[in-house]
């Protein structure tokens, strides 16, 4: 991995950098100008507006409220309450509008059973045909994330759940077997985290090959899954081999391809994040663009 990419990943999670940049004269305004292409806005209303516009273009959405690494149950409860209200709003949006969340935002690190309860309540609140997609987190949380998804799926909520599988993780082939068995939708990504070599494949050809193999494996099992990648060569290789599988994109990243995919009959869903904690998300988008 190029050194500048690794450095940007560290900066992307630096509260000190965020405070300094946003406090500098014109700092927040300039940062927002660059970040706003990737962010729906700071409110759920803004995210809903973007989802409706995407629906008019023939694309679905997955709305996420920024937040992660919650360290107390009271905050996790407030986050869950906010998501229950967000689920009600999503139910009134175009039918192909879903939710997304990182489980550390629901208190996974401090209260795994409570996190599962909160995820189940949100999933149950969604109307039929909609899902809440669980986002990718670092390797240290992989076991807890997988266990939480399985716990909620066993409550009769598999059809309301989506999981994210990271192709660069060496453990992912085994994890996919469990996700397929759980009956949840799978969002296949390359992987976003800088991890030790014994846990993750290098970015580039090893991860690309793993992605192709995992996509074919998912197709063989007839699992519901989507290709979440902006790597055009990789995406087209899978589509050519497997047909028009759903594709997922991030808001603001290579937006021109969206209309082309829709015109070809490829189902498309766009990740639509909102909230005040946009700075580090923007930094992550910069980091992922380096060497990707």
Residues 6 and 136 in one domain: no
Q: Note down the domain range covering 33.
A: 1-39+277-292
**CATH number for the domain harbouring residue 226:** 3.20.20.220
| Confidence bin at 4 (pLDDT 50/70/90) | low
- Residues 141 and 169 both lie in one domain: yes
Residue 286 and residue 170 share a domain? no
- DSSP states along the chain: --HHHHHHHHHHT-HHHHHHHHHSTTHHHHHHHHHGGG--BSSHHHHHHHHHHHHHTT-EEEEEE------SHHHHHHHHHHHHHHHHHHHTS-TTEEEEE-GGGGTTTT-HHHHHHHHHHHHHHSPTT--EEEPP--GGGHHHHHHHHHHHIIIIIGGGEEEEEETTBTTHHHHHHHHHHHT-EEEEE---S---TTTBPPTTHHHHHHHHHHHHHHHHHT--EEEE---HHHHHHHHHHH-S--EEEETTSSTHHHHHHHHTT--EEEEEEESS--HHHHHHHHHHHS--
- How many independent structural domains does the chain possess? 2
Does pLDDT of 284 surpass 90?
no
Judged against a pLDDT cut of 90, whether residue 18 lies above it is answered with no
271 pLDDT band, cuts 50/70/90, is: very high
Distance CA 151, CA 183 (A): 12
Is residue 1 very low, low, confident or very high in pLDDT (cuts 50, 70, 90)? very low
pLDDT of residue 277: 82
If asked whether residues 211 and 113 sit together in one domain, one would say: yes
Task: Check whether 278 has a pLDDT greater than 90.
Answer: no
Q: Are 276 and 66 in contact (CB under 8 A)?
A: yes
pLDDT for residue 288 is more than 50: yes
Whether 20 and 82 map to the same domain: the answer is no
Same domain, 191 and 215: yes
For residue 198, how far is the Cα from the chain centroid?
24
Mean of pLDDT values over 158-184? 98
User: Residue 30: is its pLDDT beyond 90?
Assistant: no
Read off the pLDDT of residues 205-235 as tens digits, 9 standing for 90 and up: 999 999 999 999 999 999 999 999 999 999 9
**Which pLDDT does position 192 carry in this prediction?**
79
Residues 20, 94, single domain; the answer is: no
Query: Is there a single domain that holds both residue 1 and residue 96?
Result: no
33-44 per-position pLDDT tens digit? 778 889 999 999
Q: Whole-number mean pLDDT of the chain?
A: 90
pLDDT digits (tens, 9 = 90+) for 46-80: 999 999 999 999 999 999 999 888 999 999 999 99
For the chain, the distance separating the N- and C-terminal CA atoms, rounded to the nearest angstrom, is: 9
pLDDT for res 31:
73
What confidence category does residue 178 fall into, taking pLDDT thresholds of 50, 70 and 90? very high
Mean pLDDT, rounded, for 70-91? 97
**Residue 291 pLDDT grade (very low, low, confident, very high; cuts 50, 70, 90):** very low
Across the range 131-140, mean pLDDT stands at 95
Percent of the chain with pLDDT over 90: 77
Q: What's residue 194's pLDDT?
A: 79
pLDDT score recorded for residue 236: 97
Query: Looking at the structure, do residues 8 and 102 belong to the same domain, yes or no?
Result: no
Residue 259 pLDDT exceeds 50? yes
Q: Are residues 191 and 72 in the same domain?
A: yes
pLDDT value of position 33: 79
Same domain, 80 and 217: yes
Among 40-54, 97-111, 193-207, whose mean pLDDT is lowest?
Answer: 193-207
* pLDDT for the residue 292: 39
**What per-residue confidence (pLDDT) applies to 273?**
96
Please enumerate in sequence order all residues whose Cβ is within 8 A of that of 282, keeping only pairs 6 or more positions apart, or say none: 31, 34, 35, 38, 39
Region 8-37 average pLDDT: 67
- Does residue 45 have a pLDDT over 50? yes
Same domain, 290 and 185: no
């Amino acid at each position: 991995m190029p050194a500048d990419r690794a450095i940007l990943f560290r900066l992307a999670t630096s509260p000190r950098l965020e405070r300094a940049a946003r406090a500098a004269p014109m700092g927040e305004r300039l940062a927002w100008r660059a970040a706003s292409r990737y962010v729906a806005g700071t409110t759920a209303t803004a995210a809903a507006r973007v989802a409706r516009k995407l629906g008019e273009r023939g694309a679905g959405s997955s709305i996420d409220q920024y937040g992660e690494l919650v360290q107390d149950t009271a905050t996790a409860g407030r986050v869950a309450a906010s998501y229950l209200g967000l689920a009600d709003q999503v139910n009134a949006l175009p039918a192909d509008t879903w939710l997304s969340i990182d489980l550390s935002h629901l208190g996974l690190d401090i209260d795994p059973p409570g996190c599962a309860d909160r995820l189940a309540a949100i999933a149950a609140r969604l109307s039929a045909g909609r899902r809440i997609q669980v986002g990718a987190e670092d390797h240290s949380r992989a076991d807890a994330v997988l266990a939480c998804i399985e716990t909620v799926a066993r409550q009769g909520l598999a059809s309301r759940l989506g999981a994210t599988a990271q192709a660069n993780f060496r453990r992912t082939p085994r994890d996919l077997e469990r996700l397929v068995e759980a009956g949840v939708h799978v969002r296949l990504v390359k992987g976003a985290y800088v991890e030790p070599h014994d846990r993750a494949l290098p970015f580039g050809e090893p991860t690309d090959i793993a992605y192709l193999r995992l996509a074919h494996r998912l197709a063989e099992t007839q699992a519901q899954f989507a290709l979440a990648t902006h790597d055009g060569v990789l995406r087209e290789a899978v589509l050519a081999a497997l047909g028009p599988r759903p594709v997922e994109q991030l808001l603001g990243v290579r937006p021109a391809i969206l209309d082309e995919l829709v015109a070809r009959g490829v189902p498309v869903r766009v990740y639509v994040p909102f909230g005040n904690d946009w700075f580090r998300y923007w930094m992550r988008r910069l980091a992922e663009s380096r060497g990707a």
